[in-house]
Structure 1
Amino acid sequence: MNRHVLPNRRPSLTFGVEHGIGGKHSNFTVSIGGDGESSDVREVFVSGPQSPLLDLVRDSAILLSLALQYGCPLETIRHALTRDDADQPATVIGSVVAGIEEVLA
């Protein structure tokens, strides 16, 4: 399995996600494609105030990015993440994946 290596410059979108733990807000930037033809998300960056929670979210975003670069579909990742009783994302990274899908829809 080969990793889809990204060019240094590529289209990106930035959006905010509010997550339930303490009503915190973080910004996420997603890099799209990079091959000039694809609209697939390939990388996720996180920014926000330093905290142990944000450290976990940053690590989750790195793992999400690597999974996408190795070809795992975003939909497969979404179905694997924890959801609450109302079928909403139960984690910050789940909210990010939902936000990506909404932005790209």
Structure 2
Amino acid sequence: MTQRRRLLNRRPSETFGFRWRDMNYTATTSRFPDGRLAEIFLSGGKINTDSDAIARDGGVIASIALQYGAEVATVRGALLRDGRGAAASPLGAALDQIAEIDASNYGSAS
């Protein structure tokens, strides 16, 4: 089994808002020192709703996968899409936006 790559207790993070299916969400991300995505925390606009819980759980599971060595592209590729290829979950929408940001900043998607 691969070792979990622990993050520093105090680390820089970035927060951004986005909309998915007419709902507002917030994502907060941190990265490993080499720039790879290390964690993502999601929350819905309406706290303590089913959509908020689903978003939060998705972020936790994605963060654990990333810290155990999963690539962002692998996680994104495993998530559901609708018939047009759009993300079928808030986690997918957030990871798509992160990939767009990384592509514009670094020339390649995460």
The SS at the match of 1:66 is helix
Amino acid at match of 2:42: V
Identity among equivalent positions (%) equals 35
Give, in whole Å, the separation in 1 of the partners of 2:42 and 2:83. Answer: 27
Unpaired runs of at least 5, structure 2 = 104-110
Post-superposition offset of 1:104: 2.0
- 1:29 alignment counterpart: 28
- 2:95 alignment counterpart: 97
Q: In the alignment, which of 84, 87, 90 is matched to residue 85 of structure 2?
A: 87
The SS at the match of 2:19 is strand
- 1:59 alignment counterpart: 57
The SS at the match of 2:87 is coil
Give, in whole Å, the separation in 2 of the partners of 1:68 and 1:95. Answer: 17
The SS at the match of 1:42 is strand
Post-superposition offset of 1:92: 1.2
TM-score relative to the length of structure 2:
0.84
TM-score relative to the length of structure 1:
0.88
Post-superposition offset of 1:94: 0.7
- 1:17 alignment counterpart: 18
1:44 matched to 2:40: yes
Unpaired runs of at least 5, structure 1 = none
Give the length in aligned residue pairs: 100
| Bigger relative contact order, structure 1 or 2 (CA pairs below 8 A, ≥6 apart) | 1
